[in-house]
Amino acid sequence: MPPTPERPTSPAADARQAAIAAIVAAIRERQRFVLSSHARPDGDSIGSQLAMTYALRALGKHVEIVNQDPAPSPLMTFPGVSEIRVAGEVAGEFDAAIVMECSELGRTGVAGLDRYFVINIDHHPGNAGYGAINWFDGDAAACAEMVFDIVRALGVPLSVEIAVHIYVGILTDTGSFHYSSISARTFDICRQLVEAGVEPPKVARSIFDSNSLGRLKLFGSVLSTIQLEDDGRLAVVAVDREMAAAAGGTYEDTEGLINLPLTVREIQAVVFFKELDPRLFRVSMRSKGEIDVCSVAKQFGGGGHKNASGCTVAGAYAEVRARLVAAITDAIARAAAAELAPASPAR
Ligand SMILES: [Mn+2]
């Protein structure tokens, strides 16, 4: 007997139900799964993969996670994170690969996933649809929200492990509930996660208040070099290995630093340059409201979300900095123009 629809049907809701049903059927008829996500995994990649892992194991499935890079260190204390295999290749017998939070298969940095039946679950705009089954939902605030739907559709009880990992994905991917991707649905899911045993203060303390002193000093030295552009609307911060070593920290210790300039009222966007080598920079961007830094990242071959994105850009620092500042200044102007324009009658 078909389940009673929860909301009025629409083409989008039908497509969503069809995608979830296809994924649930594919999971039920398979036994051995390998899970992966994008390189340099974030809270949503780790949370989505582990929530899915615990759900599949509850069904008696065999599950392994293979990621190119280790999880961010504040996440290491969460259940299952230390079991993630860090490797550039997947080998072994699997019936399916579930790739989450990854707009292209290549972004995993893990070779061999294409040999399996690939299930692609993602919320990044521009997902390439590389799977045998593809479920893309650009309205999800985190991929973990989509995993929540699958866990429910599989009929797996929401264990505290599953709930904690979905919460980690949502908390981190919304910039601690700052980004415009948040919906009423986000809070409805979080309500159910808390009912399942998640303690939000404990999770937030583990993730955000686990600094070392070296990390705090590194934040201080990087932030002391902050520069303002676009009449104070855009903050520019940069770090090289020398600066990191002098403060007794590492590049990994700069995780989260980019969010701090946005706590200044006037600052609308931040760009953060990490020198990989003298002519190659990892660029991260954050923005407030309607300023679309994903479109900026895409101009440079990267991606992400409207309020949080990144790319890798080659060139001398002065030139790379100037190109990014110009592109972000344009994005800020576009958002301001859109806000001044009268609301479209179509919406
Ligand atoms: Mn995400």
Residue 308, SS3 per DSSP: strand
Q: Is residue 4 situated within a structural domain?
A: no
In a domain, 2, yes or no: no
How confident is the model over 215-230, as pLDDT tens digits?
Answer: 888 999 999 999 999 9
Find the 122 Cα to ligand 1 centroid distance in Å.
Answer: 8
CA 150 – ligand 1 centroid, Å: 16
Short-list 266, 305, 253, CA closest to 126: 305
Centroid of ligand 1 to alpha carbon of 91 (angstroms)? 26
| pLDDT block averages, 10 residues each, the chain of length 347 | 58 92 98 97 97 98 98 94 97 96 96 97 95 96 98 98 98 93 96 98 94 87 95 96 85 86 96 96 96 97 94 98 98 93 53
- For strands 280-287 and 308-314, give the pairing: antiparallel
Ligand 1 midpoint to CA 245 (Å): 30
Are 41 and 146 members of one domain? yes
Q: What separation in Å is there between the alpha carbon of 148 and the centre of ligand 1?
A: 13
**Domain end: 182, 208, 234, which one?**
208
Residue 347 domain-assigned (yes or no): no
User: How far is ligand 1, taken at its centre, from the CA of residue 173, in Å?
Assistant: 5
Strand order in the sheet with 85-86: 85-86, 62-67, 32-36, 96-100, 117-122, 133-136
Using alpha carbons, select from 287, 280, 271, 285 the residue that is nearest to residue 240: 280
Residues 64 and 198 reside in one and the same domain: yes
Distance 249 CA to ligand 1 centre (A): 27
Report the separation in Å between the CA atom of 101 and the middle of ligand 1, taken as the mean of its atom positions.
5
217 and 199 belong to one structural domain: no
pLDDT at 6: 55
Residue 294 Cα to ligand 1 middle (Å)? 13
Residues 168 and 281 in one domain: no
CA of 43 to the centre of ligand 1 (A): 8
CA–centroid distance, residue 52 to ligand 1 (Å): 14
Q: Does residue 190 form part of some domain?
A: yes
Among 167, 186, 208, residue at a domain's last position: 208
Within a domain: residue 276?
yes
Range of the domain at 302: 213-340
CATH number at residue 330: 3.10.310.30
In angstroms, what is the span from residue 138 Cα to ligand 1's centroid? 10
Number of domains in the chain: 2
Distance 316 CA to ligand 1 centre (A): 31
Q: Give the per-residue pLDDT at 97.
A: 98
For residue 123, how far is its CA from the centre of ligand 1 (angstroms)? Answer: 7
Report how far ligand 1's centroid is from the alpha carbon of 176 (Å). 13
319 and 186 assigned to the same domain: no
Is 252 part of a structural domain of the chain?
yes
φ, ψ of residue 103 to 5 degrees: the values are: -75, -25
> In whole angstroms, what is the distance from residue 45 CA to residue 103 CA?
12
Contacts of 75 (CB under 8 A, 6+ apart): 43, 46, 81, 168, 207
How far lies 323's CA from each of 7, 47, 88, 262, 280, in Å? 46, 34, 32, 21, 14
Go through 235-247 and write b for each residue having 16 or more CB atoms within 10 A of its CB, e for each that does not: bbbbbbeebbeeb
Based on the fold, state whether residues 186 and 285 are members of the same structural domain: no
Query: How much distance in Å is there from the Cα of 242 to the middle of ligand 1?
Result: 31
Q: What is the pTM of this model?
A: 0.84
Note the pLDDT tens digit of each residue in 64-91.
999 999 999 899 999 999 999 999 999 8
**Within-domain flag for 271:** yes
Looking at the fold, whether 46 and 187 belong to one and the same domain comes out as yes
Are the C-beta atoms of 166 and 193 separated by less than 8 Å? yes
- The residue out of 208, 240, 259 marking a domain boundary is 208
DSSP string of 103-145?
A: SSGGGG--BTGGGSEEEEEE-STT----SSEEEE-TT-SSHHH
Distance from residue 259's CA to the centre of ligand 1 (Å): 16
- Based on the domain organization, do 231 and 172 belong to the same domain? no
Q: Are residues 250 and 288 in the same domain?
A: yes
Residues 269 and 172 in one domain: no
- State in Å: Cα 45 to ligand 1 middle: 7
Domain CATH number, residue 98: 3.90.1640.10
44 alpha carbon – ligand 1 mean position (Å): 5
How much distance in Å is there from the Cα of 125 to the middle of ligand 1?
11
Is 61 in a helix, a strand, or coil?
coil
| Residues 139 and 235 occupy one common structural domain | no
C-alpha 85 to ligand 1 mean position (Å)? 20
- Looking at the fold, whether 247 and 287 belong to one and the same domain comes out as yes
The pLDDT score that the predictor gives to residue 180 is 86
Residue 1 lies in a domain: no
User: How far, in Å, is the centroid of ligand 1 from the Cα of 139?
Assistant: 11
